């Protein structure tokens, strides 16, 4: 289809999609006013027990149309404020609840310092808010001063729900979401008291006195509290201690602040409050605890006591109210083990517990509308006594393949019982692993470190085919690997797998010291690509390995996941020595690692029943509209895919054809305009032009990184576009390859190829290295390489897979003359194999000696193309080596068409204008002058300057 027609089709489809989206919005929009009003107020509380100083909490009360009604206290997550939970608050208010949201002390417009849900601070504040609710006439009471109230919230707010339920018996039901049981176990997995007799559930991994610090997450959370407290609106005055707050009804125009108010800009905060200093808005105790553990990755007893004090584990033995625990399976901060510990401890205390695992979490997002509806139904049932309890003992969500629109398909499964409450899981399956004893080394400084994910963004990364392979990397030599046979049928792993390992010191540095290892279980597809479910890692600290090198047996409990391992897939157990998300010892060490006892991984299975919901008319309309939009997207994608697979039969053997290529940017800038040229097999083509000529833009379009405004590029007859399959036939090198200096050249190439996810046998390591000419040096560490060797290694990396078209940007940059000569030979040898090389360079003399053909660009347009010899000789200047230079000059000056001729040593230079060199040679021979050699006089640089103009050459 011509570009114009295709553009009109795309525009038409886009217009239809917009119309459909508009219909969906119109159908789904409710013109009724909200069924609630809001009231802003500031509630003052004691800064600390027995203190006369006050902390001011910024609150919003959502009041439904019908009152009195049960209340819901809705705290926010860490780093947020009351506005972070507006959506949840409005949904609950529409359901008929009185909802109170507030900014916790140290967040939003509330004053005070962050104490991490300390019972004497944040939890006392929440109890004070229950007093406030009990005084509201809109709230249903169980008794004088006792509101009918439930508490729900996510993460930091979920911990408030648990801690408040364990300290204030007025709470009637709780629904904490993706929260923690024990901050010490969450942030320092594997930490345990010396007695190891308390009620906490073992975190993933094996117990030791010290945990392994989750430094990436801890640093992210700590940074969220470093800023100064935000002041309130100007003109407010602080309340007197003990004053009751007033409110003003939200009229829908602008929220008011009545009664007690917040500090004005520039107001001095009371002593002990946040606002300055390195501690930011944290209390000194929290700052000291973070400094303690961040310094060396180990928590002192005072820090451990603080973390336990502010954790629900300190009160779960007193929680007996109905509890719905919602935990995410995409959560590297608070894993499923935290919900398991809460469930077990509350059940042992006599509470009624239901558990839901959903496909979200700190790495995957908050619950969606359906799950939020289940939480609201749970609170409604337990606060009103109406209807049936929607929560089953255990339910979990299973994520399947990605849909056409890129979102994952999810199905819900209900089980008869929560396995975490039983002495043994419902069912386990043993999957044999192969692999003998291996040595895994930790490099000096623990750098480079293994990568298991990107905390907080793992779901985004996992759903991107381009990014997923970049964030699950095990550097060569730093891990032991054990692999299973392919599965005969699907295995739905539901929970925490376990495995037994033998670990021994393999170097002097490891003897008598703690071993810190990171264990993970990959799902490996038949094509070799790996997926780390939930990006979950079990950090293991094994204290004091024996000095004699004998092994220590350890049972590792991996993080809980929900993962369907499909038939034909296999499991890969990796035991790594580094992970960038954790604090890792920096001393170099080596460990001997093998499977202990039964060489297998034990995976839990929890059979259940897949459930579906009803299909309301509104949902059907919405789904139907979505399907229409998806169909339109699929049509557009199909058109693009069809174009990307179209083959021009006349060009299937031509490496590169560029036709009428144009790239324009907003503002009238045109970087490339009407560019056309062709490259054949075996050519080494130089792309030349002054700065701003459009060379880089052309290369970016050639690599599929940006789309042209007009024109097209075909590689072996197939159109180039972002993600086009034909791009796999192009190898490229851009200046500044990031080689790892402590690894050998060969190891760097293997690591690079592994990141592409393609089979190792397709790499052709030997062929690429032979062409690059590195010899035995490829086995040396890159830090010992000269600049020329690094450049040749970079070329070898670009040659991996032996691409048919090699695109190089400044391959000789920074090299000395001997190295440049060697690089010239590398490129010539590669082209001699029948492949094609395209070189962008500013070294004109080198291009003249290396390239067979050149393309010269100027101001985005083509000014010359062809063989180097043709470009050089196009000016008419020639040089003749003769036996009698003086006689030759006389003959040439007397010949018609010759402009000038002069002697230069033993050669004669002449400007022949349009006369062929052969005619001048014939004239010399007829006059009896012997001609030994004749050729063009100009260099490529001379021709280049003539083409683009003096002063505009490459700098």
Instruction: Give tens-digit pLDDT for 774-830.
Output: 788 888 998 888 877 888 888 888 888 888 898 888 777 766 777 777 778 888 888
Phi-psi region of 24 (alpha: psi -120 to 50; beta: other; left: phi over 0): alpha
Per DSSP, the three-state class of 47 is coil
Judged by average pLDDT, the poorest of 507-521, 553-567, 879-893 is 879-893
Of the pLDDT bands very low, low, confident and very high (cuts 50, 70, 90), residue 169 is very high
Q: How far apart are CA 725 and CA 729, in angstroms?
A: 8
Show the beta-strand stretches assigned E in 299-444. Answer: 323-328, 353-358, 394-402, 408-415, 427-432, 438-442
Say what the pLDDT of residue 642 is. Answer: 54
- Segment 352-367 shows an average pLDDT of 91
Categorize the per-residue pLDDT at 280 as very low, low, confident or very high, splitting at 50, 70 and 90: confident
Please indicate, yes or no, if residue 767 is contained in any of the structural domains. yes
* Torsion angle of the four alpha carbons 370, 373, 375, 377, in this order, in degrees rounded to the nearest 10: -140
Give yes or no: residues 623 and 680 share one domain.
no
955 CA to centre of own chain: 37
CATH classification of the domain holding 500: 2.60.120.260
The pTM score is 0.61
Supply the DSSP symbol for 312.
G
How far is residue 160 from each of residues 123, 230, 580, measured CA to CA in Å?
A: 7, 22, 30
On whether the CB atoms of residues 258 and 247 are closer than 8 A, the answer is yes
Distance CA 195, CA 832 (A): 71
pLDDT tier for residue 689 given thresholds of 50, 70 and 90: confident
Q: How confident is the model at residue 751 (pLDDT cuts 50, 70, 90)?
A: confident
Q: What is the rounded CA–CA span in Å between residue 361 and residue 367?
A: 8
What is residue 472's predicted lDDT score, i.e. its pLDDT?
A: 78
Kind of pairing between the strands at 669-679 and 718-719: unpaired
Lowest mean pLDDT across 108-112, 187-191, 552-556? 187-191
What CATH number did the domain enclosing 848 receive?
Answer: 3.40.50.300
Rounded Cα distance, 415 and 390, in Å? 14
Which whole-number Å values give the CA distances from 20 to 17, 30, 635, 637, 921, in the listed order? 5, 18, 15, 18, 77
C-alpha span between 700 and 696 (Å, rounded):
6
Mean pLDDT of 470-481: 85
Between 164 and 807, residue with greater pLDDT: 164
pLDDT of residue 30: 47
Check whether 618 has a pLDDT greater than 60: no
- Asked whether the bond before 819 is cis by omega within 30 degrees of 0, the reply is no
C-alpha to C-alpha distance for 455 and 464, rounded to whole angstroms: 15
* For residues 82-107, average pLDDT: 95
User: Could you report the per-residue pLDDT of 542-561, keeping only the tens digit for each?
Assistant: 999 999 999 999 999 999 99
At a CB cut-off of 8 Å and minimum separation 6, what does 247 contact? 39, 40, 41, 61, 258, 259
Confidence of residue 601 (pLDDT cuts 50, 70, 90): very high
Same-domain check for residues 443 and 567: yes
**Would the CA dihedral through 17, 18, 20, 25 be positive or negative?**
positive
Same-domain pairing of 688 and 640? no
Q: What percent of the chain has pLDDT over 70?
A: 78
Per-residue HEC secondary structure of 642-694 comes to HHHHCCCHHHCCCCEEEEEEEEEECCCEEEEEEEEEEECCCCEEEEECCCCCC
Q: Are 75 and 126 spatial neighbours (Cβ–Cβ below 8 Å)?
A: yes
Residue that has been written with the tokens 């962050």 in this structure:
114
Does residue 62 form part of some domain? no
Q: Is residue 481 part of a domain?
A: yes
pLDDT score for 622: 52
Higher pLDDT, 12 or 725: 725
Q: Which of 4, 5, 6 is CA-nearest to residue 640?
A: 6
pLDDT tops 90 at residue 99: yes
Contact (Cβ atoms closer than 8 angstroms) between residue 262 and residue 110: yes
How crowded is residue 367: how many other Cβ atoms within 10 Å of its Cβ? 21
Q: Is 904 a domain residue?
A: yes
Regarding whether 830 and 794 lie in a shared domain, the answer is yes
DSSP structure class, residue 634: H
131: in domain: no
Q: How many CB atoms lie within 10 A of CB 591?
A: 24
Mean pLDDT value of segment 364-375 = 91
Cβ of 313: how many Cβ atoms within 10 Å?
27
pLDDT in tens, 720-736: 887 778 887 888 876 55
Same domain, 711 and 635: no
User: Residue 908, exposed/middle/buried by CB under 10 A (0-12, 13-18, 19+)?
Assistant: buried
List Cβ neighbours of 781 (8 Å cut-off, separation of 6 or more): 741, 742, 743, 744
Asked if 786 and 830 sit in the same domain, the reply is yes
Domain boundary among 869, 887, 917: 869
Rounded to the nearest 10°, the torsion over CA 444, 548, 439, 214 is -50
**pLDDT computed for residue 275 by the predictor:** 40
Residue 729 carries which DSSP code? Answer: G
pLDDT, greater one: 375 or 401: 375
Average pLDDT, the chain: 80
Contact between residue 261 and residue 236 where contact means Cβ atoms under 8 Å apart: yes
- pLDDT higher than 80, residue 947: no
Cβ atoms of 706 and 700 closer than 8 Å: yes
Q: What is the mean pLDDT of residues 611-624?
A: 48
Tokens describing residue 422:
């039983």
291 within domain boundaries: no
Please name every residue paired with 498 in a beta bridge, in sequence order, or none if there are none: 557, 602
**Cα dihedral 638, 641, 647, 648 sign:** positive
Say yes or no to pLDDT of 594 above 70.
yes
592 and 703 within one domain = no
Residue 201 has pLDDT above 50, yes or no: no
Q: Which of 299, 51, 301 is nearest to 195 (CA)?
A: 301
Residue 399: pLDDT band by 50, 70, 90 thresholds? confident
pLDDT greater at residue 49 or residue 820: 49
- Please, is 3 exposed, middle or buried when counting C-beta atoms within 10 Å of its C-beta (0-12, 13-18, 19+)? exposed
Q: pLDDT value at position 95?
A: 93
**613: buried, middle or exposed (CB in 10 Å: 19+, 13-18, 0-12)?**
exposed
The CATH number given to whatever domain includes residue 929 is 3.30.70.100
Lowest-pLDDT range, 283-297, 562-576, 898-912? Answer: 898-912
The highest-confidence range among 45-54, 121-130, 289-298, 876-885, by mean pLDDT, is 121-130
Domain termination residue (choose one: 645, 663, 698): 645
Q: How many helices (H) and strands (E) does the chain have?
A: 22, 41
CA pair distance 931, 390, nearest whole angstrom: 102
Instruction: Specify if 293 maps to a domain.
Output: no
Identify the pLDDT of residue 165.
97
- For the chain, how many structural domains are there in total? 4
pLDDT at 10: 46
Q: 689: alpha, beta or left, given left = phi > 0 and alpha = psi -120 to 50?
A: left
Composition of the chain by helix, strand, coil, percent to 5: 30, 25, 40
pLDDT at 276 over 60: no
Residue-wise DSSP of 780-820: SBGGG--HHHHHHHHHHHHHTT--SEEEEESTTTT--HHHH
Range of the domain at 28: 1-32+619-645
559 and 473 in a common domain:
yes
Q: Annotate 149-163 with b (16+ C-beta within 10 A) or e (fewer).
A: bbbbbbbbbbbbbbb
At 948, the pLDDT band (50, 70, 90 cuts) reads low
Rounded distance, CA 160 to CA 570, Å? Answer: 41
pLDDT at 418 > cutoff 60: yes
Whether 568 and 483 map to the same domain: the answer is: yes
Which residues is 655 bridged to in the sheet?
none
Give the residue, 159 or 526, on which the prediction is more confident: 159
Residue 552 Cα distances to 188, 482, 509, angstroms: 22, 18, 17
Does 422 map to a domain?
Answer: no
The 10s digit of each residue's pLDDT in 636-650 is 555 555 554 568 888
- Confidence (pLDDT) at 457: 72
Q: Long-range contacts: 15-20, Cβ < 8 Å, 24+?
A: 16/632, 17/629, 17/632, 17/633, 20/625, 20/628, 20/629, 20/632
725 and 842 part of one domain: yes
Separation CA 531–CA 533 (nearest Å):
6
Residue that terminates a domain, selected from 828, 852, 869: 869
Same domain, yes or no: 529 and 659 = no
Four-residue CA torsion sign, 765, 770, 772, 777: positive
- Domain match, 884 and 864 both: no
């Amino acid at each position: 289809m011509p570009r114009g027609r295709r553009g009109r089709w795309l525009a038409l489809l886009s217009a239809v999609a917009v119309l459909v989206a508009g219909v969906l919005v119109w159908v789904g929009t409710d013109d009724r006013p909200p069924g609630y009003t809001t009231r802003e107020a500031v509630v003052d509380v004691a800064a600390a027990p027995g203190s006369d100083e006050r902390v001011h909490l910024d609150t919003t009360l959502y009041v439904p149309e019908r009152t009195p009604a049960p209340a819901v206290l809705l705290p926010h997550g860490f780093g947020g404020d009351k506005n972070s939970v507006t959506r949840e608050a409005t949904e609950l208010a529409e359901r008929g609840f009185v909802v109170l949201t507030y900014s916790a002390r140290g967040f939003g417009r509330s004053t005070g310092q962050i104490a991490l849900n300390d019972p004497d601070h944040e939890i006392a504040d929440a109890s004070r808010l229950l007093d406030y609710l009990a005084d509201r006439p809109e709230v249903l009471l169980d008794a004088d001063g006792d509101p009918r109230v439930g508490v729900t919230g996510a993460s930091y707010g979920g911990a408030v729900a648990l801690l408040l339920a364990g300290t204030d018996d007025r709470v009637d039901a709780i629904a904490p979401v993706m929260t923690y049981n024990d901050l010490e176990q969450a942030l320092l997995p594997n930490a345990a008291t010396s007695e190891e007799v308390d009620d906490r559930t073992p975190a993933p991994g094996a117990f030791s006195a010290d945990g392994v610090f989750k430094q990436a997450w801890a640093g992210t959370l700590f940074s969220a509290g470093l800023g100064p407290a935000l002041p309130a609106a100007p003109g407010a005055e602080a309340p007197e201690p003990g004053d009751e707050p007033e409110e003003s009804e939200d009229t829908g125009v602008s929220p008011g602040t009545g009664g007690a108010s917040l500090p004005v800009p520039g107001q001095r905060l009371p002593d002990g409050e946040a606002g300055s200093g390195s501690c930011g808005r944290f209390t000194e105790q929290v700052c000291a605890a973070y400094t303690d553990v961040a310094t060396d990755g180990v928590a002192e007893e005072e820090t451990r006591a603080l973390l336990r004090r502010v954790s629900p584990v300190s009160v779960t033995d007193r929680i007996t109210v109905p509890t719905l625990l919602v935990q995410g399976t995409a959560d590297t901060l608070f894993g499923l083990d935290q919900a398991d510990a809460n469930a077990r401890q509350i059940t042992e205390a006599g509470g009624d517990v239901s558990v839901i695992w959903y496909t979200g979490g700190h790495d995957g997002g908050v619950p969606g509308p359906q799950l939020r509806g289940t939480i609201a139904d749970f609170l409604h049932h337990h606060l009103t006594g109406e209807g049936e309890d929607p929560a089953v003992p255990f339910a979990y969500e299973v994520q399947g393949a990605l849909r056409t629109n890129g979102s994952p398909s999810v199905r819900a499964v209900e089980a008869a019982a929560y396995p975490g409450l039983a002495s043994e899981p419902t069912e386990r399956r043993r999957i044999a692993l192969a692999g003998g004893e291996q040595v895994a080394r930790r490099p000096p400084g623990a750098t480079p470190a293994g990568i298991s994910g990107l905390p907080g963004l793992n779901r985004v990364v996992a759903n991107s085919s381009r990014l997923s392979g970049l964030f699950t990397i095990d550097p060569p030599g730093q891990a032991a690997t054990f692999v299973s046979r392919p599965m005969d049928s699907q295995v739905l792993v539901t929970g925490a797998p376990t495995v037994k390992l033998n670990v021994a010191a393999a170097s002097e540095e490891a003897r008598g010291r703690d071993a810190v290892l990171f264990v993970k279980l990959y799902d490996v597809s038949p094509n070799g690509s790996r997926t780390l479910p939930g990006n979950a890692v079990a950090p293991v600290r094994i204290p004091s390995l024996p000095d004699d090198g004998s092994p220590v047996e350890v049972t590792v409990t991996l993080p809980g996941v929900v993962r369907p391992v499909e038939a034909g897939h296999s499991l890969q157990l990796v035991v790594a020595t580094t992970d960038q998300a954790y604090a890792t010892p920096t001393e170099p060490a080596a460990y001997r690692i093998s499977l202990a006892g039964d060489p297998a991984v034990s995976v839990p299975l929890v059979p259940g029943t897949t459930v579906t919901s009803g299909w309301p008319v509104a949902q059907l309309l919405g789904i139907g509209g979505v399907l229409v939009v998806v169909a339109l997207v699929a049509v557009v994608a199909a058109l693009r895919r069809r174009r990307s697979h179209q083959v021009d039969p006349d060009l299937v053997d031509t490496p590169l054809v560029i036709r009428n290529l144009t790239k324009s940017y907003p503002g009238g800038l045109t970087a490339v305009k009407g560019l056309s040229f062709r490259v054949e097999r075996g050519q080494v083509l130089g792309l030349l032009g002054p700065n701003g000529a459009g060379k880089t833009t052309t290369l970016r379009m050639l690599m599929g990184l940006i789309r042209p405004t007009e024109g097209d590029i075909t590689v072996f007859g197939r159109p180039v576009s972002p993600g086009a399959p034909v791009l796999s036939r192009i190898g490229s090198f851009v200046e500044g390859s990031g080689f790892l200096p402590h690894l050998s050249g060969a190891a760097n190439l293997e690591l690079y190829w592994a990141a592409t996810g393609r089979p190792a046998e397709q790499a052709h390591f030997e062929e690429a290295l032979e062409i690059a000419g590195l010899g035995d040096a490829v086995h040396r560490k890159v830090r010992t390489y000269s600049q020329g060797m690094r450049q040749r290694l970079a070329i070898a990396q670009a040659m991996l897979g032996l691409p048919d078209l090699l695109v190089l940007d400044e391959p000789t940059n920074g090299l000395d003359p001997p190295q440049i000569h060697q690089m010239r030979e590398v490129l010539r040898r590669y082209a001699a194999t029948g492949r094609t090389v395209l070189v962008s360079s500013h070294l004109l003399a080198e291009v003249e000696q290396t390239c067979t053909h050149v393309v010269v660009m100027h101001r985005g347009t083509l000014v010359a193309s062809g063989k180097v010899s043709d470009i050089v000789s196009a000016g008419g200047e020639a040089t003749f080596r003769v036996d009698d230079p003086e006689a030759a000059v006389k003959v040439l000056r007397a010949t018609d068409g010759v402009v000038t001729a002069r002697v230069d040593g033993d050669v004669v230079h002449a400007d022949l204008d349009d006369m062929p060199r052969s005619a001048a040679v014939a004239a010399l021979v007829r006059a009896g002058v012997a001609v030994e050699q004749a050729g063009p006089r100009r260099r490529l640089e001379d021709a280049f300057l003539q083409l683009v103009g003096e002063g505009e050459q490459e700098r």
